[in-house]
Structure 1
């Protein structure tokens, strides 16, 4: 009976990108659109010398090309977001943001990036093609990823 319970616990455990202790590290190149606020100010005067000022803020989409890095190990993961997509108020540690709600299948990895309480972009990584996408309030990013070993990678310079 004890072995049956242990077997059921193992079967009920969530899927992970790889077995514990085996980190999947990726570097991705691509581009996208970042949502930025544009501000315009207008002033007007009438014939009596009175004036009025109005300020209007509107969102605009600014294109960018950049790279991102990410790693997943078991149920943990981190991503280095493209700087163009980062809001002024954000969390993170040394540019790395936690991945949460990580779902791993044989064909894809899905997660949520914890940037700040109001901005949690969705990450989707196709494990067959290497395509990655990030989509959230701060913009959208799409690219292609390559697997790499940070310990064995040769520097270009």
Structure 2
């Protein structure tokens, strides 16, 4: 009786192993180096001094006015992913004056790598967060946030490729 149960269990296990999709090395530990070329729009805040004449006091007064504008740009993003950590070099027009980058890199937080997408968040500073999304099939990168956005086409880069010059 026990041998029949054991045979059934072993047969079920073997059948399950045969029908299951094989594990690939990159399913558990992904290493990617990407260069993404594209364009975006950055929000810029500028200030100017305005002089006004007050007819009551017959004097000029100067005030400071601030305004925002949207500026289109072209740029490159560089992304490195190793296991469950990632980092990104954001195109310079998106980088605020006060920022959290280290040696030019921003950490990718809440990184999720699936077979179809790579998602995460990039904290540029205490007010500015970007949502990162890369479609692994099309290579499309999008970085969206309140102070601007960027989208580009990504290409995998081999770190060990010899230099061109």
| TM-score normalised by structure 2 residue count | 0.77
Match for residue 137 of structure 2 among 125, 128, 133: 128
1:28 aligned residue: 36
Is 1:55 aligned to 2:64, yes or no? yes
Q: Secondary structure at the match of 1:121?
A: strand
Decide which moves more: 140-149 or 117-126.
117-126
For 1:91 and 1:56, locate their aligned partners in 2 and report how far apart those are by CA, in whole Å: 28
Q: Which runs of 4+ in 1 moved over 4 A?
A: none
Contact kept in structure 2, 1:18 and 1:24, CA below 8 Å: no
- Structure-to-structure mapping, 1:8-23, within 5 angstroms: 18-20=27-29, 22-23=30-31
| TM-score normalised by structure 1 residue count | 0.81
Describe the superposition over 1:51-78 as per-residue Cα deviations: whole angstroms up to 9, x where unpaired.
Answer: 2222211111111111010011221000
Contact kept in structure 2, 1:18 and 1:73, CA below 8 Å: no
Q: How many residues align?
A: 139
1:39 aligned residue: 47
- Give the aligned CA root-mean-square deviation in angstroms: 1.7
Q: Which ranges in structure 2 are unaligned for 5 or more consecutive residues?
A: 1-25
2:19 aligned residue: none
Match for residue 73 of structure 1 among 64, 77, 82: 82
1:3 aligned residue: none
1:109 aligned residue: 118
1:93 aligned residue: 102
Q: Which ranges in structure 1 are unaligned for 5 or more consecutive residues?
A: 1-16
For 1:26 and 1:18, locate their aligned partners in 2 and report how far apart those are by CA, in whole Å: 18
For 2:27 and 2:88, locate their aligned partners in 1 and report how far apart those are by CA, in whole Å: 17
For 1:72 and 1:46, locate their aligned partners in 2 and report how far apart those are by CA, in whole Å: 60
Indicate the structure with greater helix content: 2
Q: CA deviation at 1:156?
A: 3.5
1:148 aligned residue: 157
2:3 aligned residue: none
